[in-house]
């Protein structure tokens, strides 16, 4: 029974060669960067088109479910945690669309989004960093993977901040106009799906301000959960940069040192004839 299920749960990738696994990882880095950039572009569009960002979030979730698996790492060994990871991704995807399509009056729909998205993206970032740690050299594709991980953190923070505002209205306010809520309220908002009402662009802007620790101060967290979440992402951002950049710089330096040593050593081992 266990042998018959293996091809279904862990498909053909286990038989890939080292070169094929490397190319697949590098394609994944590129695709993830393109998807995160697509979400950012959608958030820069007029507000009536912000709901397109939901498609980007779903694509990112599906892409990570399909590609962040053990069989495309070095050695190609099957990771028994791949199946729970994919199941968590499916639940996260369902929670996202349940939240998008739920009227604001059903505010408790934000809780599954907060819990499942936090768990899935945290696990995904850990896996992505593990992929980057196994790269033997630094090139453009690897840098794309590092950048896409950082953008993924920011977009996830924006989604979580928006969900938090859904659950507890007034979690965030504007410094320039404290009396003006960041999100619409009233009968129209209560009868409209979230994807058409909430200002994703504003909260994603605030999320990246927190992640980069810039701190413009034009959006303020007002409630304890919002304040703690802001602090958490303000700590996560520099930690990601320190870990990933330190790792990539180390790989780049070791690669340069190895090439320099090869140039300095003569082919015959340094012996003179």
Contacts of 67 by beta carbon, 8 Å cutoff, 6+ apart: 24, 25, 28, 31, 32
Task: Count Cβ atoms below 10 Å from residue 131 Cβ, excluding itself.
Answer: 19
Burial of 179 per CB tally in 10 Å (0-12, 13-18, 19+): exposed
Render pLDDT for 246-264 as a digit per residue (tens, 0 to 9). 888 888 777 655 555 555 5
Q: Please, how many CA atoms are within 13 Å of residue 245, restricted to the half-sphere of its CB?
A: 7
Q: What angle do CA 173, 209, 54 make, to 5 degrees?
A: 80
Render pLDDT for 122-181 as a digit per residue (tens, 0 to 9). 999 999 999 998 888 889 999 999 999 999 999 999 999 988 988 888 888 887 666 555
Q: How confident is the model at residue 267 (pLDDT cuts 50, 70, 90)?
A: low
Are 90 and 26 in contact, with CB atoms under 8 Å apart?
no
Element (DSSP H or E) covering residue 41? helix 18-44
Tokens 């994807």 — which residue?
Answer: 195
pTM, whole model, 2 decimals? 0.82
d(CA 206, CA 192): 24
Average pLDDT over residues 82-108: 87
Average pLDDT over residues 88-99: 93
d(CA 260, CA 165): 55
Q: Which long-range contacts (CB under 8 A, 24 or more apart) does 178-182 make?
A: 182/219
Give the number of residues written for the chain. 273
Is it the case that residue 10 has pLDDT exceeding 50?
Answer: no
Render pLDDT for 211-238 as a digit per residue (tens, 0 to 9). 999 988 888 899 999 999 999 999 999 9
Element (DSSP H or E) covering residue 96? helix 82-100
Residue 52 pLDDT:
86
Could you tell me which residue, 92 or 79, shows the higher pLDDT?
92
Could you tell me the CA-to-CA distances from 213 to 95, 124, 184, 210 in Å, in that order?
29, 23, 28, 5
Q: Please, how many CA atoms are within 13 Å of residue 239, restricted to the half-sphere of its CB?
A: 10
Render pLDDT for 26-85 as a digit per residue (tens, 0 to 9). 999 999 999 999 999 998 988 777 778 889 999 999 999 999 987 777 666 778 889 999
Q: What is the DSSP string of 51-64?
A: GGHHHHHHHHHHHH
Residue 136 pLDDT:
84
């Amino acid at each position: 029974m266990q042998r018959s299920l293996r091809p279904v749960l862990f498909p053909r990738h286990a038989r890939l060669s080292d070169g094929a696994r490397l190319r697949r990882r590098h394609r994944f880095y590129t695709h993830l960067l393109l998807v995160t950039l697509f979400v950012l572009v959608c958030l820069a569009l007029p507000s009536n088109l912000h709901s397109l960002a939901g498609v980007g979030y779903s694509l990112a979730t599906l892409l990570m479910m399909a590609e962040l698996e053990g069989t495309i790492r070095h050695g190609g060994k099957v990771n028994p945690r791949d199946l729970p990871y994919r199941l968590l991704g499916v639940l996260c995807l369902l929670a996202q669309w349940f939240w998008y399509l739920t009227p604001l009056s059903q505010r408790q729909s934000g809780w599954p989004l907060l819990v499942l998205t936090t768990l899935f993206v945290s696990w995904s970032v850990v896996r992505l960093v593990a992929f980057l740690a196994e790269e033997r050299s630094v090139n453009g594709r690897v840098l794309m993977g590092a950048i896409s991980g950082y953008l993924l953190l920011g977009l996830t923070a924006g989604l979580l901040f928006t969900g938090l505002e859904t659950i507890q209205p007034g979690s965030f306010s504007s410094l320039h106009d404290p009396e003006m809520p960041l999100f619409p309220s009233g009968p129209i908002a209560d009868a409209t799906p979230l994807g058409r009402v909430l200002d994703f662009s504003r909260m994603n802007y605030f999320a990246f301000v927190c992640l980069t620790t810039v701190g413009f101060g034009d959006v303020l967290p007002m409630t304890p959960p919002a304040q703690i979440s802001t602090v958490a992402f303000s700590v996560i951002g520099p930690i990601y940069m320190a870990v990933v950049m330190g790792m990539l710089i180390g790989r780049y330096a070791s690669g340069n040192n190895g090439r320099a040593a090869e140039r300095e050593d003569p082919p015959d081992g340094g012996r003179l004839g």
